[in-house]
Structures are given as structure tokens and as C-alpha cells.
């Protein structure tokens, strides 16, 4: 007991734990999300996703601004008006993943829905892998 009280244990930061988890997973053939999104070969429009502000969209049942993504909560918040609700949801998801700046996104609603589904699938797979690794580490303690 005396040894424990005298020794100082180093605590890992969240960034160090995340880097360790990332290093533990090997994504040999996976391009970054940004590169992967840029490889989309459908007719597209250039959209600027603001670098600051939490993205939000209005309720699906809203009468107005259903195709708008707001960045922040005040009245002067930046906004991106999209071609469709599906494109707005895609912009919101990309901003949540910190994929911001000028981006080329599909114009067609069905193409936006498909890309959003693919993006969510691509993000969920590593998250599940990290969860499994984390639960495996807990059980080994």
C-alpha cells in the first residue's frame, strides 16, 4: 500500500487513447472519408460547409427551411440552403464528422440518400470495431 501512495500513475488523455485505438486498427485499403467522398462520380454541385457551428436541420414536418442546414443557434447563424432534404441531411452528417469546406455533393435527392447511407455505413463499421476492441480491453482487466 505504501508504494502505491508514493508513486504517481500517469493518466492517458482522450487524444492518446483515441490515437492508440486508431493505431490498433489497420485500414490498409481504406481512403480517408474526404478522399472517399471526393471520388463520387455523380452530377454534383459545389457546396460550402462552414468551418464553425454545430449543424442542425429543422424537423422533417417543418413547413419552411426543410432543405436548410443551420450552423449555430442564434439568428445570425450561418446557413446552407440545399437542393433537397436529403442533401441537407448529407451536409449535416458531413459537418458532424468535421468534413467541412468546399465539397462536391450530388444534386439528385436519390443520389444524396444513397451517399448518406453509404457514409453512415462506412462510419459505423469502424465504430463497431472500436467498441469491440474497447469491450475486449475491459474484459482483460
Q: Where are the domains of the chain?
A: 14-139
What does the pLDDT read at residue 122? Answer: 84
Q: What is the mean pLDDT of the chain?
A: 80
Q: pLDDT-based confidence at 6, cuts 50/70/90?
A: low
CB-based contacts of 77, cutoff 8 Å, min separation 6 = 53, 70, 71
Cα dihedral angle (70, 76, 82, 86), rounded to 10 degrees?
A: 10
Cα 115 to Cα 109: distance, rounded to the nearest angstrom: 10
Range 46-80 burial, b when 16+ CB lie within 10 A, else e: ebebbeebebebbeeeeeeeebbbbbeeeeebeeb
pLDDT given at position 62: 84
Predicted local confidence at residue 29, as pLDDT: 64
Q: What is the pLDDT confidence band of residue 139, given thresholds at 50, 70 and 90?
A: very low
CA distances from 19 to 15, 29, 88, 121, 131 (A): 6, 19, 31, 22, 15
At residue 141, does pLDDT exceed 70?
Answer: no
Q: Answer yes or no: is pLDDT of 1 > 60.
A: no
How far is the C-alpha of 141 from the C-alpha of 73, rounded, in Å? 43
pLDDT for 95-113, tens place per residue?
A: 999 899 999 999 899 999 9
Over the stretch 61-94, which tens digit does the pLDDT of each residue have?
888 989 999 999 888 889 999 999 999 999 999 9
Q: Which residue reads 458531413 in cell numbers?
A: 94
Amino acid at each position: 500500500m505504501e508504494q502505491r501512495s508514493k508513486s504517481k500513475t500517469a493518466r492517458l488523455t482522450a487524444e492518446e487513447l483515441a490515437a492508440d485505438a486508431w493505431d490498433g486498427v489497420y485500414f490498409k485499403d481504406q481512403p480517408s472519408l474526404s478522399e472517399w467522398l471526393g471520388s463520387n462520380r455523380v452530377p454534383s454541385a459545389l457546396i460550402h460547409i462552414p468551418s464553425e457551428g454545430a449543424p442542425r436541420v429543422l424537423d422533417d414536418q417543418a413547413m419552411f427551411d426543410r432543405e436548410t442546414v443551420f450552423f449555430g443557434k442564434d439568428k445570425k447563424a450561418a446557413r446552407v440552403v440545399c437542393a433537397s432534404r436529403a442533401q441537407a441531411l448529407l451536409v449535416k452528417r458531413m459537418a458532424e464528422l468535421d468534413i467541412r469546406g468546399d465539397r462536391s455533393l450530388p444534386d439528385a435527392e436519390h443520389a444524396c440518400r444513397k451517399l448518406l447511407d453509404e457514409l453512415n455505413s462506412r462510419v459505423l463499421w469502424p465504430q463497431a470495431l472500436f467498441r469491440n476492441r474497447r469491450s475486449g480491453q475491459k474484459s482483460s482487466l
